[in-house]
Structure 1
């Protein structure tokens, strides 16, 4: 699937297109709603780039491939995109998928700008070819742990599925909480049913349960079960990975989906540029844009500036990461080397802990910022 340039007019683009490969989960078992928002942001930014002259007069074009949350499929897509002559690859939401894409892009000498995946170890070894817009998991999840402690929660249970991403999140939470007097109980969702989770919580004394699981299964059944268990009336349910961000969460859970804090990568207030993009994204999506849509837009904004200023040669694109200075929808974007992170990292994306307002589940309220 390609995003064509706009009709001739104000953009005045011409000549062969400059191609960017785009990866997103657009079918199950991928998180399709996240992929749809990511793609909407990417496509809107491409339209805006082309409306303002493209890349040195050439139209910018997306070449989109569906990863379906499959690392092998993502790696194969990178191979295909490299053969199609793209200047760079961008996108992806799922961390384990982005990790596979980053490794393959690096091996092929292809620049990769990761939009949304947060896993610290995005690559096995440090590389100059990969950059990332989303905050590293260690930063965001420590901020989430600080929120929990500030709200008086020191005994935390995590319902986790087997995954590199969820295991990493559990380790970050445990290490950060331990030095502050907190403890973490692990509940293995590879073996437990939602009912068994409730039994474990009732006997443990944990005051918060974090969902480190996929959406909608088994996240939705766990929430429904906990909400209906009178023994657990006072327990906080949390979802640091952001499941409640999307409309499908509210549609499936209704009032039960409110008051579940999660991480969101938006500032408390958007500036004029971000507000204009928000309006356009809302029209494109026919609903409120998630932070993932803004990540998609910012991805193309960064790549367009790099391609305009450094050309389309892949080596020159990769060499440009440390010189990026782009006004994104959520603030000034610059990349740097962060200790423990092997890729070029936007070090300071805005981070919030928010929840759906129980009085108005279609609205969010900010609980904590970092």
Structure 2
């Protein structure tokens, strides 16, 4: 008899991982597993979710992949942090395990092309080009980027710089490893940029930089942006209050959820005791896809990995199919819906869609 249907879930649930994002991702994964089992499971057998905390640590994620492979999981799912997902993808590929990445956008998710890895969220270059177009459309031609050292942020800066250069604009980089919040403010005044794009971890150093800029009267007209989505989560609003409003960010939701999405939203809201983020929907859709593959191919990892281009699932945010996208190296849903959104200054708990794409 084939092994029991198991999905290994990689989720940041403790610091220095982004715990709130991990909590939303896990809520979506768990809800979908529960509903799959309520509908009869996989060929009459219950689907099991085996969760491991990555804590935002690439080495810990790679070790978790080894452990989960030893436990006989059919596939891996999840992860929010791009550098962590890269480590997990490399190890999964080496072990022959299919991995459906839920939320990590870095284009180069693997060092070499592989048939074993697929991704639900859009590649960084796709979403961040949309974000750059939003800024350009709003009249910004010279922006500054406050950048923390990492391959993810460096990749984001390249996308923005290339898009701005193609339109006659420019991007100045401010190194957060060398500059404190007050230094960032002084540099912005000297530079004359009309927008600051925050490419930094949450809460530090992102929150102190936002506070400093908001309280500097010299920068009263400056737009602050956060394409990576930090303002999506309640912790951002709790820490910054009104100062965290009007900070445009990328969100991977449609203007209107599918009927399934509307039902799932209500269940996730009850489970989280808060409005679900797009990350929660990514978690839910991840399990839908893997369950569909298991129903078609039982629990054989090789067959599951070979079937990415043939699977078609109606998810919470649209019809999900995978294809090859130049530069990605993995199977990709091309494309999930993308919005530029901010928190309404009049009601910071409410989101405004500024630029649907």
Q: For this structure pair, what is the TM-score category when the shorter chain's length is used for normalisation?
A: over 0.9
CA deviation profile, 1:82-137 (whole Å, cap 9, x unmatched): 00000000000000000000000000000000000000000000000000000000
2:192 to 201, 205, 212: 205
The equivalences for 1:218-233 within 5 A come to 218-233=205-220
> Counterparts of 1:35 and 1:348 in 2: how far apart (Å)?
23
The equivalences for 1:21-36 within 5 A come to 21-36=8-23
Partner of 2:93: 106
1:317 to 297, 304, 315: 304
Displacement of 1:369 in angstroms is: 1.6
2:24 to 20, 34, 37: 37
Displacement of 1:348 in angstroms is: 1.1
Q: CA RMSD in A?
A: 0.8
Determine if contact 1:91/1:113 at 8 Å carries over to the other structure: yes
| 1:337 pairs with 2:324 | yes
Structure 1: runs of 5 or more not aligned:
1-14
Go from structure 1 to structure 2 and tell me whether the alpha carbon gap of 1:106 and 1:130 turns closer, same or farther (over 3 Å shift).
same
Partner of 1:47: 34
Structure 2: runs of 5 or more not aligned:
none
| 1:360 pairs with 2:347 | yes
CA deviation profile, 1:271-295 (whole Å, cap 9, x unmatched): 2110000000000000000000000
SS at 2:257 equivalent: coil
Partner of 2:123: 136
Partner of 1:126: 113
Partner of 2:64: 77
SS at 2:349 equivalent: strand
1:298 to 273, 281, 285: 285
Determine if contact 2:4/2:299 at 8 Å carries over to the other structure: no
> Counterparts of 1:270 and 1:102 in 2: how far apart (Å)?
29
Partner of 2:143: 156
Partner of 2:276: 289
Determine if contact 1:49/1:304 at 8 Å carries over to the other structure: yes
Determine if contact 1:16/1:58 at 8 Å carries over to the other structure: no
SS at 2:16 equivalent: coil
SS at 1:362 equivalent: coil
SS at 1:342 equivalent: coil
CA deviation profile, 1:178-229 (whole Å, cap 9, x unmatched): 0101100000001100000000001111000011000000111000000000
Partner of 1:257: 244
Runs of 4 or more, structure 1, over 3 Å off, are none
Displacement of 1:320 in angstroms is: 0.7
| 1:307 pairs with 2:294 | yes
Determine if contact 2:147/2:200 at 8 Å carries over to the other structure: yes
Determine if contact 1:16/1:59 at 8 Å carries over to the other structure: no
Displacement of 1:16 in angstroms is: 7.1
CA deviation profile, 1:137-158 (whole Å, cap 9, x unmatched): 0000000000000000110100
Provide the aligned length of Structure 1 versus Structure 2. Answer: 356
